[in-house]
Structure 1
Amino acid sequence: MKMKWLFSLLFISNLCWGSNQLVVDIISSENFSQRYEHFLAGRDVLDVDSFFPTTKGSHIEIIEMVLLQQALFLGGETRKVVFNPKPSVNILEFSDLIAGESLILARSVWHENIVDYRGSLFISDPLVEVGDYEAGLYVTKRNVALQQTPLSQLRQLNVVSNPQWEVDWRALMNTDLHMVSFIGPWETMLAMVESDVVDTMLINFSVSDSLTLNFEGKEYVPIENIKVVLPDSRHFVVSKNHPEGVQIFAALNRGLKILKRRGVLKRALTESGFINKKVANWQVANAEMLVGGD
């Protein structure tokens, strides 16, 4: 009888503990936790008002983790967010969300990739507006000649890309570059650039002052004065089939509207280097596919 009472007490305690937490799924294959904690540097996530990078490499994943929590809180969801690493969560796989086994992801996703799942997923207001996502054509730093390729001579170069990354693929198809299809890890594609199998690869602009990307001791730089605009918006997604989906989606969208009205979204993307002022006046390689051209 005593053991049964103890088990009941533990069960109730666990329920109460769980009710004070909101579980958000994140990609387990990426080491976000260390960079996330380094960025917070002891700050409460709700107090973060400066989004300048504190580590090398892409910074947008960490900023999204922060903005998601701030939006939820401002929208009325005050539970503590707990990030849950899941191997099945990636940028192209939404089966757990569709089934209601996951509630929400900590990453934004392309609208084009989720529009066909509107029956099962709530799509938030945009975190990244159409036209704000720009990337560089990265080449090896040692190849000075490639770095200085003019826009008029892009047709002489080939670029590697994954056709499953539909937005990237479509943007590159609208440049003069010759496409090389490769379905495999991002790191392998970068190795193809390093070994001169291909000339270039589309990568988010680095947050470093020189725009240099340093990966495993090797350096890559963007072709000077050329950028590619990825013509789509990015959104958070919430499961319609999860018991809390309606509530969380409402809070998230309310909060995103507040952050946008206060100018926090734009400032976060700019300070983090995602919207990179250094390339504001660079030529757009796929300008013809954009509304009104460039």
Structure 2
Amino acid sequence: MRYVFGIILSLLLFPFTGKANSPIAVKAVVIEDVLEDYKKFLKGRNPLDIKDFSGPYSRRDVIELVLFQQALSAGGLHTLVILIPMPTYQRSIAELEKGYVDATANPVWETDLKESSTWKSISTVDPGQFVAGLYGKPKRIAELSNLSLSELKNKSITTSFVWESDVQALKKAGFTNIVDGGNWERMIRMVKHDRVDFLLSSFRAEKDLSFQVQDTKYIPLSGYKIILEGRRVWGVSRNSKKSKNLIAALNKGVPLLKQKGIIEKAYRQSGFFNSRVDHWKTISAETTDILR
């Protein structure tokens, strides 16, 4: 029932802006909490008209839904996009591979897509560009900031064990106490209720790089960052009748958005590409303690 409601709600939220001869609507999967924030960010605006990617509810996942639709349009595919909510990243990939949906609304890790069942778009994020922070509650971060790096690596941090890129990045950084959080909402609750010390998150556009979920604020441990390796691409199901048109539009549209600086601008305004952490130390297994 929730799945059907999501389709109906999407039809109401995203008016058809294509031409009369446009192909049938594109169904794209998105994680539930991202869709909720996207609706709040959009405030009834047409995603194709958005040029400023900053503001309340702006974050990497949210603005990528806008970029997806702008890339399709720039690539010549003018059609309705129906955003289908899914509870987890893993479920989204499974629905894509089976052909139950046409595409992922957010870029995913290239290595998570099977060649036999999916097409991969030109990347939006290249190796070395995905930078994340160690986030926690302000009081706990203040306590942890007094520890040495070797001590920090023994503290608990949560991610989802199906997010292989996150897990590998944490292991490569030398973290030894990685806890499976399942999904983003559960990870947030684990940090909130002091079951773990950190969670891994993209940076945000706030001055203190923070984000807030309900009544709880989360900030990064200043001075340290982690690099997640790999490329981020939009996935298109080979089992979709629209697959050739979709991948062609994305592979034409993404370079055009890059050329115009739109992808760079969107990622910077959302805080994902963030100059304030350029001087921060990248944690690796070999990283030694530094003066803070």
For this structure pair, what is the TM-score category when the shorter chain's length is used for normalisation? 0.7 to 0.9
Alignment-derived partner of residue 49 in structure 1: 51
In the alignment, what sits opposite 1:96?
95
The residue identity in structure 2 corresponding to 1:97 is L
State the one-letter code of the partner of 1:130. P
Q: Which runs of 5+ in 2 are unaligned?
A: 1-18, 288-292
1:118 is the counterpart of 2:115: yes
What residue number does 1:82 align with? 81
Instruction: Give the Å deviation of 1:223.
Output: 1.2
Match of 2:166 in 1: 168
Does residue 26 in structure 1 map to residue 29 in structure 2? yes
Separation (CA, whole Å) in 2 of partners of 1:20 and 1:179: 49
Q: Who is 2:106 aligned against? A: 107
Secondary structure of 1:142 counterpart: helix
CA deviation digits over 1:211-250, x for unaligned, max 9? 2232231222211100111112111011112111111110
Structure of larger gyration radius: 1
Matched residues in 1 for 2:48 and 2:127: separation? 27
2 CA distance for matches of 1:39 and 1:162?
26
Change beyond 3 A, Cα 1:259–1:199 = same
Q: Could you tell me which residue of structure 1 aligns to residue 71 of structure 2? A: 71
Q: What letter matches 2:67 in structure 1?
A: L
- Identical columns (%): 30
Distance 1:181 1:49, change over 3 A: same
Q: Which amino acid aligns with 1:274?
A: F
Q: CA deviation at 1:195?
A: 3.5
| Residue in structure 2 matching 1:201, options 199, 202, 205 | 199
2:124 is matched with which residue? 127
Amino acid of the residue matched to residue 120 of structure 1?
A: S
Matches within 5 A, 1:1-294: 21-27=24-30, 29-30=32-33, 32=35, 35-41=37-43, 43-55=45-57, 59-79=59-79, 81-87=80-86, 90-93=88-91, 94-114=93-113, 117-143=114-140, 144-286=142-284
**Preserved contact between residue 149 and residue 224 of structure 1 (Cα < 8 Å):** no
Which residue identity does 1:30 align to in structure 2? D
1:154/1:36 Cα in 2 relative to 1: closer, same or farther (>3 Å)?
A: closer
Bigger CA drift: 174-183 or 135-144?
A: 174-183
Residue identity opposite 1:66 in structure 2: V
CA contact (8 A) 1:21 1:82 kept: no
Mapped partners of 1:171, 1:227: distance in 2: 11
Q: Distance in 1 between matches of 2:152 and 2:34?
A: 35
* CA distance in structure 2 between the partners assigned to 1:83 and 1:111 by the alignment: 23
In the TM superposition, what is the alpha-carbon distance from 1:287 to its structure 2 partner?
7.4
Question: Residues 31 and 239 from structure 1, CA distance in 2 versus in 1: closer, same or farther, beyond 3 angstroms?
Answer: closer
| Distance across 2 between alignment mates of 1:135 and 1:179 | 18
CA gap of 1:181–1:98, structure 2 versus 1, over 3 A, is: same
Deviation at 1:53, TM superposition (A): 2.9
CA, structure 1 residues 271+150, in 2 after alignment: closer, same or farther (shift >3 Å)?
farther
CA contact (8 A) 2:133 2:203 kept: yes
Determine the C-alpha separation between the residues in 1 that align with 2:235 and 2:67: 14
- Classify the secondary structure of the residue corresponding to 2:104: coil
Work out the CA distance in 1 between the residues paired with 2:168 and 2:265: 28
CA contact (8 A) 1:238 1:245 kept: yes
Report what 2:5 is aligned to: none
* Pairs aligned (count): 267
1:66-120 Cα shifts (integer Å, max 9, x gaps): 11111111111122x2324244x74223333223332112111111211xx1111
In structure 2, give the amino acid aligned to 1:121.
T
